[in-house]
Chains A and B, each alone.
Chain A
Amino acid sequence: MLGRAAPARRRAGRARTLNIKVVKANNKSKAVDPRLEKLVKEWKLSFTAYELADEAVLDLDIGSVGACSSQGRVDERPRQEMVADGKLKVELTIEKLKFKATVLIAAGATLAVGGPAINDGALILALTRPKSG
């Protein structure tokens, strides 16, 4: 179960928030979840239907590891600094895809990773850093 992480640390100004969305995309219909419309417009993929399959909010202290386990666990490590221009450095690992990326995400920006096929469609994982996060 993934729940919304405790907001107290966010209010304390130490934690950084990532909104995580798992999206199922296909061409079986033209239904787009309204919560995904903004992202879908930017992705410009040829899929016609986008379903929000799962979502979570992950609050990470700088330097912490947020393992998206079934317990929604967040391991904390000593706090570090952000990059100079305010972007948050995030390391994302998807073992089954043998995928590993290091990205800098500005406030309000989204990194999406897509590709795995499912039910004549594809899965897309979107990490959004809120403007205020």
Chain B
Amino acid sequence: MSACKYSREWLAAFVDGEASERTTQTRDHVERCRECQALVAQWAGPVTSCARWSIAAWARSIRSSPCRTSATASRPRRAVPSGRASRPGGTTSGSSIGAPSPVRSRGRAGGAGGARRRLPARRAAPSVLELTGPAVVVEALEVGGGASAVVWGGGGETSTLIWVQPGAEDSHEGTF
């Protein structure tokens, strides 16, 4: 049972370098609290093992690519309206894992639905698919094998989520 009641969320943010205004406070606490020192050491330490479905299989490549600065800056963007996305999992039907339901794109998404699009498989048109949020912009998105994808985010959030529903012909159970 943990004795220290200091916020684990703040500790995690501290480890990630994202504690912002709480950095000093958290650092001071960690310097005094052995329990939190151990937690920070545990969280900040190197990752020494990967499960077989780990990052290696997930992300075949992550590329920080050359950017077309002028093109990106000048290209008209379809703005995604502000507003928090509704609770996607809560709208799920026919899913046993609580995944969000794909919604069809009807031009500009609006209302509580936020920035959600259903993106057809194998569609790759960066000028069309550019979804703009304050923190993450999805310029292009491809999914294949009959899969569908839902994108939501924007609306003042710092996190954008792409949910991929594998197609019927694809089964990835336990292989990632």
Contact = CB atoms under 8 A, between A and B. Distances in A.
B158 A68 contact: no
Contacts of A123: 53, 58, 176
Interface stretch (B24-32, B44-52, B103-111): B44-52
A18 B62 contact: yes
* Closest 9 pairs (CB-CB, A-B): A46-B89, A34-B8, A98-B144, A109-B135, A115-B164, A35-B12, A42-B159, A46-B98, A80-B66
Interface in B117-147: 124, 126, 134-145, 147
Contacts, number: 285
Given A26-B97, A67-B60, 11 more contacts: A16-B64, A20-B59, A36-B12, A55-B47, A65-B61, A82-B69, A89-B65, A98-B170, A105-B136, A108-B135, A122-B98
B67 interface: yes
A95 B176 CA distance: 10
Given A53-B54, A98-B145, A131-B18, A104 B139 contact: yes
B82 to A, nearest CB: 15
B63 A65 contact: yes
A111 B162 contact: yes
Interface of A: 1-4, 16, 18-20, 22, 25-27, 34-39, 42-47, 53-56, 58, 60-70, 80-85, 87-106, 108-128, 130-132
A22 B147 CA distance: 21
A117 B87 CA distance: 19
